[in-house]
Amino acid sequence: MAAKLKTAVLGATGYSGLELARILQRHPRLEKPMLLRRRQRSSSGAQDLGADAPADLAEVFPQLAGNGGYPLRAWSGTELRAQGVKLLFLATPHEASRRIVPEAVAQGLRVIDFSGAWRLKREEHRAVYGFHDADAAMAAKLAERGVYGLPELHADCIRKAQLVANPGCYATSVILALAPLVKAGWVDRERGIIADSKSGVSGAGRAPTAKTHFVSVADNVSAYSVFEHRHLGEMAEQLGLQDEELTFTPHLLPIPRGILSTIYLRLNGQRRAAEIEHCLREFYAERGWVRVFAPPKLPQIQYSLHTNYCDIGFCLADDGRRLVMVACLDNLLKGAAGQAAQNMNLMYGWDEREGLP
C-alpha cells in the first residue's frame, strides 16, 4: 500500500481553513494534516503568537472537540520539511502568503495558496494589492511559475506545478460560466458582459467588520467594490478579456454561505438553446465538478451548498442573441477549500473527485 501524503495547513482558524482541515482529515490518501498558526507581525519583526494563541483548533471551533484533537503548531518551513510534509496549504491573507511562499518553495514544498498573492500575471491587475516584496526578483519568478488553480481550465499545468494559486470564489463562478462560450468565439465582446454576483457573509472572512455585523447584513442586500473588486483581474485574464469588456458587481446576501452569479451577454450570431447547452456540456464533458442544467431549469444556491459542484444554467431570449447565464457554488468549497483539494488530487495523480463532498 502506497505511503500516505503528509500535508500541512496554515490558516485553519478561518472558515475556508476549517473546511479544508475537515476534507484533509477524511481524505483516504492522506495522513492527518498538520495544522499551523502564523507568526504575528510587529514593529520589531515576526513573532510567534505565544500564550495568546489557541493550542487546538477546537478552541476556535468547539464542534471539533472530541475527535482526537487538532493541535496548532507554530509555522516553520524547516520544521515542515523535517516532519516529511510535502504539500502546504495557505489559507492566509494576501500579504502573508506573499511572504511565506518563497520560504516554503525554498524548502522544496509544493504549495496551494488560497489568497490572491500569486493569481495574477498582469502588473496592472496585481497593483490592486500593493505588494512590497523583500526580494522582488524572486517574487517575479514565482508569479510567473505559479499556476492558476482552476482545474476545468488548467488541469495539465496543475499536475506539474509547485505553486498553485487557488482562484477566488466569485471568479470561479463567472469564469466557469463564460469560458466555453468565449472559447467558442460566440460572445459579442463589443457589447460587453455584465456579471451580477451575490455571496453569503462567510465570503468576507471570519474577522467581524461593521459591514458584516448581523445588524448590517440581516434583512438587507448591498453592493460593494463596484468597478474595483480584486477578482475582476482574474476574470479578465482567465477569459482573455479586456477589463472594459466585463462589468462585475458583487453583492452581500444575508445568508452564511453560497454564491449566485447572474451574467448578461449578447451573442455575435443567432443561436438555439440546444447549441448553447451542447457547447457547455462538451466543454465540461470530462470535468466531474461542473453540472450543466438544461433549460428552463436554473441553478439555485441551495443545490450546490456543502458540495464541490459549480452549477451552470442559462436562458436564451427568443431573438437567439440575448443570453442570461446563472452559476452557483459554495464559496467555502468549490470557491475555496474544495477546489484546493481538487487541485491536490490533480497534483498527485488521483481522481479529482476523491475525498470531496
The CATH number for 92's domain is 3.40.50.720
Q: Does one domain contain both 64 and 118?
A: yes
Whether 354 is covered by a domain: the verdict is: no
Whether 353 is covered by a domain: the verdict is: no
Q: What is the pLDDT along the chain (357 residues), one digit of tens a residue?
A: 578 999 999 999 999 999 999 999 999 999 999 999 876 554 444 444 444 678 999 999 888 887 778 899 999 888 898 899 999 999 999 999 999 999 999 999 999 999 999 999 998 999 889 899 999 999 999 999 999 999 999 999 999 999 999 999 999 999 999 999 999 999 999 999 999 999 999 988 887 788 888 888 899 999 998 998 889 999 999 999 999 999 999 999 999 999 999 999 999 999 999 999 999 999 999 999 999 999 999 999 999 999 999 999 999 999 999 999 999 999 999 999 999 999 999 999 999 999 999
Whether 251 is covered by a domain: the verdict is: yes
Contacts of 39-44 with CB under 8 Å at 24 or more apart are 39/74, 39/75
Q: Does one domain contain both 116 and 180?
A: no
Q: Does one domain contain both 199 and 289?
A: yes
> Which CATH number fits the domain that encloses residue 285?
3.30.360.10
Q: Does one domain contain both 61 and 182?
A: no
Whether 273 is covered by a domain: the verdict is: yes
CA distance 268 to 320: 10
Q: Does one domain contain both 17 and 157?
A: yes
Q: Does one domain contain both 62 and 196?
A: no
Q: How many domains does the chain have?
A: 2
Cell of 12: 485553519
Q: Does one domain contain both 121 and 201?
A: no
Whether 1 is covered by a domain: the verdict is: no
Tally of CA atoms within 13 A in the half-sphere of 308 that contains its CB: 24
- List the catalytic residues: 169
CA distance 153 to 151: 5
Interhelix angle 136-145/94-106, rounded to 10 degrees, is 90
Look up the domain containing 195 and give its range.
169-329
Cell of 345: 488530487
Q: 120 near 128, Cβ under 8 Å? A: no
Whether 200 is covered by a domain: the verdict is: yes
- The per-residue pLDDT for 207 is 79
Closest Cα to residue 241, out of 171, 294, 137?
A: 171
- The per-residue pLDDT for 128 is 87
Q: Does one domain contain both 79 and 195?
A: no
Whether 276 is covered by a domain: the verdict is: yes
Q: Would you call the peptide bond into 296 cis, given omega within 30 degrees of 0 as the criterion?
A: yes
Whether 128 is covered by a domain: the verdict is: yes
Q: Does one domain contain both 32 and 130?
A: yes
CA distance 316 to 267: 10
Q: Name the 3-class secondary structure at 147.
A: strand
Q: Does one domain contain both 143 and 250?
A: no
Cell of 24: 484533509
- The per-residue pLDDT for 78 is 87
Cα distances (Å, whole numbers) of residue 3 to 79, 89, 354 = 20, 20, 17
Across the strands, what pairs with 111? 88, 163
Q: Does one domain contain both 224 and 341?
A: no
- The per-residue pLDDT for 173 is 98
**What is the separation of C-alpha 180 from the centre of its chain, rounded to a whole number of angstroms?**
19
- The per-residue pLDDT for 40 is 57
Q: Does one domain contain both 181 and 125?
A: no
